[in-house]
Amino acid sequence: MSLDDLRKRVDELDENIIKLLAERLSTAEAIGREKAAGAAPTLDAGRERQVIDRAISLAADAGMTAAEAAEIYERIIKLARERQSVSAAFQGEPGAYSEAAALAFFGPRAVTRSCESLEAVFAEVESGRVQYGMIPIENSIEGSISRSYDLMLEHSLMVSGEHHLRVNHCLIGNPGATLDGIRRVYSHPQALGQCGHFLRQLKFELQPTYDTAGAVKLIKEQGVCDAAAVASERAAAIYGMKILARDIMDNPQNFTRFFALARCDAPPSGNDKTSVVFAVKHRPGALYEFLRILAERKINLTKIESRPTRKKAWEYNFYLDFDGHREDESFKAALPALEDQTLFIKILGSYPRARAEGK
């Protein structure tokens, strides 16, 4: 075939590819509607993994590499996920980092709902008014979000996904503000703490608020030029505000881990994590025995920390993450022995492992 003939053939193939892609995305939308009608989870990482594995298998016979097939189908699945209608609640005002995490995880077409508190996020999901709740669970610099852990113990919602969001703080003011004119800075206490060096250098008066984006909204409503907020670039754009300084956090490796909460957790995907909370019996070696049971079954722990029970002084619950799914045979076999060592054990959910944003 001549070069012109080959190019004509490419054009014909592209026409067919576009038609097939459009049909596939349309079918994904229909699947999303069926899931919503049947109250099934919108996201199914296990099924997505099956689709990619099947594409890799077919690619070998078609002369494509596994890497090529995986890259193409991961993109197709991302587009298909964005076509499926998802609703998610988050704590804070529009522009909050929690909303950014929800949109990154569920796709830009997700319908987000602002809530005044973490408690309200749980209530929105439990009532069925939204499908998911996106809550912060820990920050790579400041540590765990205690209230999120406490609420997961108190409520029946389960972790169905996780997302790691890179946090880039900006100093934001009204359009007429200048850096030299700022006297007060508002933001969430954790955001203020993450920018401590920058804020101390300029000797600002710090004013804690319940939310980063809420701080931007507050100074916009005040209309003053001697106050600023620490929040995201996206929050500045939403409220039509001016960025006075970018990337003001002490540590550029600043990530927040978020949990996507739902009324059920996720089916196995082949690359999962599980979160549990438990309290051991009050006897010597009880925690050691609990951990030994997991080690004997080669269950790898990725995190463990204690939290006060808030019922009796100096008594603690332990929150633990491990590699694998609660449906894995290794964990199912270990569970009876774990229950013997504990006052209680609650599975908070199994979910596909996240990758840090930008990695």
Predicted pLDDT of residue 35? 72
Confidence of residue 46 (pLDDT cuts 50, 70, 90): confident
Predicted pLDDT of residue 40? 64
Confidence of residue 41 (pLDDT cuts 50, 70, 90): low
Q: Is 256 assigned a catalytic role? A: yes
User: What own/partner pairs with CB < 8 Å and gap ≥ 24 does 206-209 have?
Assistant: none
Is 76 in the same domain as 100? no
Share in percent of the chain as helix, strand, coil (round to 5): 45, 25, 30
Residues 167, 173, 178, 184, CA torsion sign: negative
Last residue of a domain, one of 260, 295, 330: 260
In a domain, 44, yes or no: yes
Last residue of a domain, one of 189, 211, 245: 245
Q: Is 258 assigned a catalytic role? A: yes
In a domain, 9, yes or no: yes
In a domain, 309, yes or no: yes
Predicted pLDDT of residue 337? 96
Q: Exactly one of 122, 258, 290, 331 is catalytic; which is it? A: 258
In a domain, 357, yes or no: no
Predicted pLDDT of residue 85? 73
pLDDT at 48 over 90: no
| Residue 40: Cβ within 10 Å count | 12
Is 73 in the same domain as 117? no
- pLDDT above 90 covers a percentage of the chain that reads 78
In a domain, 67, yes or no: yes
In a domain, 359, yes or no: no
Is 93 in the same domain as 74? no
Q: Exactly one of 42, 209, 256, 342 is catalytic; which is it? A: 256
**Residue 221 belongs to domain with CATH number:** 3.40.190.10
The residue range of the domain holding 211 is: 170-245
Q: Which residue has the higher pLDDT, 249 or 357?
A: 249
In a domain, 303, yes or no: yes
Contacts of 196 (CB under 8 A, 6+ apart): 250
Quote the CA–CA distance of 316 and 342 in Å, as a whole number: 12
Is 159 in the same domain as 176? no
Tens-digit pLDDT profile for residues 314-353: 889 999 999 999 999 999 999 999 999 999 999 999 999 9
Is 143 in the same domain as 174? no
- The total number of structural domains in the chain stands at 4
Which residue in the block uniquely carries the two structure tokens 């504990």? Answer: 342
Is 221 in the same domain as 234? yes
In a domain, 250, yes or no: no
**Residue 35 belongs to domain with CATH number:** 1.20.59.10
Last residue of a domain, one of 57, 83, 109: 83
Is 186 in the same domain as 227? yes
